[in-house]
């Protein structure tokens, strides 16, 4: 996963001797895009948005995300907004592309305790903060109880699907850069 972490904005340069790239010491957006010929369209657009900061096709990515979420056939109550599933899809996409940093560890996933470095207990070492029930309820336009008991699990399921896409991207980019 260190290749993907090095693709995010502000990351340190990669050693140009170990990985083939067009730039001397960095993987460029073009390098990433050229490695993505083996992934599906949704994953391709997701990678462009997340790792290449290319939002020129964001409308298509949003539409694919909504289509994917609606195939899950999530039920909703009559009191919930008609577009609650679409909001859920877009919220999970936005969270997956740019998750919030953990405020306890500053996004590193580690804390220094008594001159030892230990994993952050708040974010479980991921460096990302979880979506709060309050925030999810506000985004979806549902009550907090429904957000906590129903929609949070669905949100986490969609986010985990994007994590699976990240794993596929890691393999595709690693393979593409080694070829």
pLDDT value of position 4:
54
- What whole-number percentage of the chain has pLDDT above 90? 36
CA end-to-end span of the chain: 18
pLDDT category, 64, cuts 50, 70, 90? Answer: very high
CA 52 to each of CA 19, 67, 78, 86: distance values in angstroms, whole numbers, following the listed order: 18, 23, 40, 25
Q: Is the pLDDT of residue 1 over 60?
A: no
9-27 pLDDT, tens digit per residue, is 444 344 434 444 444 556 6
pLDDT value of position 158:
94
Crossing angle between the packed helical segments 152-178 and 84-97, to the nearest 10 degrees = 40
Burial of 64 (0-12, 13-18, 19+ CB in 10 A): buried
Which tokens belong to 47?
Answer: 């990678």
Question: Is-contact 31 50, C-beta < 8 A?
Answer: no
Mean pLDDT across 75-87? 93
Interatomic CA distance for residues 62 and 134, integer angstroms:
23
pLDDT value of position 127:
80
For the chain, how many structural domains are there in total? 1
Positive or negative torsion for Cα 96, 94, 29, 34: positive
Range of the domain at 73: 2-178
69: closest CA among 50, 36, 91, 48?
A: 91
User: How wide is the angle at C-alpha 148 spanned by C-alphas 144 and 150, nearest 5°?
Assistant: 110
Kindly state the DSSP code that residue 20 receives in the 8-state scheme.
-
pLDDT value of position 30:
76
What is the pLDDT of the chain when averaged over all its residues? Answer: 82
- Residue 117 main-chain phi, psi, to 5 deg: -100, 125
Interatomic CA distance for residues 151 and 166, integer angstroms:
23
Q: Is the pLDDT of residue 140 over 50?
A: yes
**Predicted TM-score (pTM) of this structure:** 0.77
């Amino acid at each position: 996963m260190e290749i993907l972490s090095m693709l995010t904005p502000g990351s340190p340069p990669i050693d140009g001797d170990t990985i083939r790239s067009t730039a001397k010491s960095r993987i460029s957006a073009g390098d990433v895009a050229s490695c993505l010929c083996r992934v599906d369209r949704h994953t391709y657009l997701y990678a462009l948005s997340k790792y290449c900061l290319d939002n020129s096709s964001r409308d298509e990515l949003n539409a694919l995300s909504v289509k994917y979420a609606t195939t899950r056939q999530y039920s909703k109550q009559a009191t919930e907004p008609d577009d609650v599933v679409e909001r859920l899809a877009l919220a999970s996409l936005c969270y997956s592309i740019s998750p919030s940093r953990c405020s306890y560890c500053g996004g590193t996933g580690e804390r220094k305790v008594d001159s030892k470095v230990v994993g952050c207990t708040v974010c479980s070492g991921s460096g990302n903060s979880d979506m709060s029930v309050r925030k999810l309820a506000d985004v979806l336009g549902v009550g907090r109880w429904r957000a906590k008991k129903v929609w949070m699990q669905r949100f986490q399921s969609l986010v985990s699907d994007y994590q699976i896409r990240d794993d596929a991207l890691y393999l595709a980019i690693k393979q593409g850069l080694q070829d």
